[in-house]
Amino acid sequence: MVDEERGQIDPANCLISSYRDLHVWQQAMDLAEMCYRASRSFPKEELYGAVTQIRRSAASIPANIAEGNGREGRGEYIQFLRIAQGSLKELETHILLSQRVELITGQDAKPMLDKTEVVGKMLRALIRSLQNRGKA
């Protein structure tokens, strides 16, 4: 598992047999679920606007983590983690815009934005760890 304090993989706790064992993937799935639930209350006219954009970018984060984990090389894995980071920033932007145009309140946006911060830190730590492992 990734040591979130040091941003490194701790080999003693490394029992990963699937991308589903990755804490960052689990947190990204929680974030996607939060976004799906929050967007249920958006007005119907936003079904093909904000709702679609939020759900697509939110689902893309764990999907890219999973896809990267299934790739053969470390470089490909890192590239997919970077794509996940991009989707994360896109999601943050859609949440902030939804808040600005009053589709959601700041109180409703805060837990999602807090979770994007957690997932972002974990993605950066995993990328650093994979990069450092390549240098060893």
Express each pLDDT in 4-31 by its tens digit. Answer: 444 444 544 556 789 999 999 999 999 9
Whether 41 is in a domain gets the answer yes
Phi then psi for residue 9, to 5 deg, are -80, 130
Whether 10 is in a domain gets the answer no
Tokens, residue 11: 């080999």
Read off the CATH number of the domain in which 96 is found. 1.20.1440.60
Whether 116 is in a domain gets the answer yes
Count of the separate structural domains present in the chain: 1
pLDDT at 135: 74
Whether 123 is in a domain gets the answer yes
- Give the ranges where 14-105 is alpha helix by DSSP (H): 23-39, 50-69, 74-100
Whether 8 is in a domain gets the answer no
pLDDT at 6: 43
CB atoms within 10 A of CB 44: 7
CA distance 51 to 58: 11
**Model pTM score:** 0.86
- Report yes or no: 76 and 20 within 8 Å, Cβ to Cβ: no
Whether 3 is in a domain gets the answer no
pLDDT digits (tens, 9 = 90+) for 76-117: 999 999 999 999 999 999 999 999 999 999 999 999 999 999
Whether 128 is in a domain gets the answer yes
Whether 9 is in a domain gets the answer no
Range of the domain at 131: 18-135
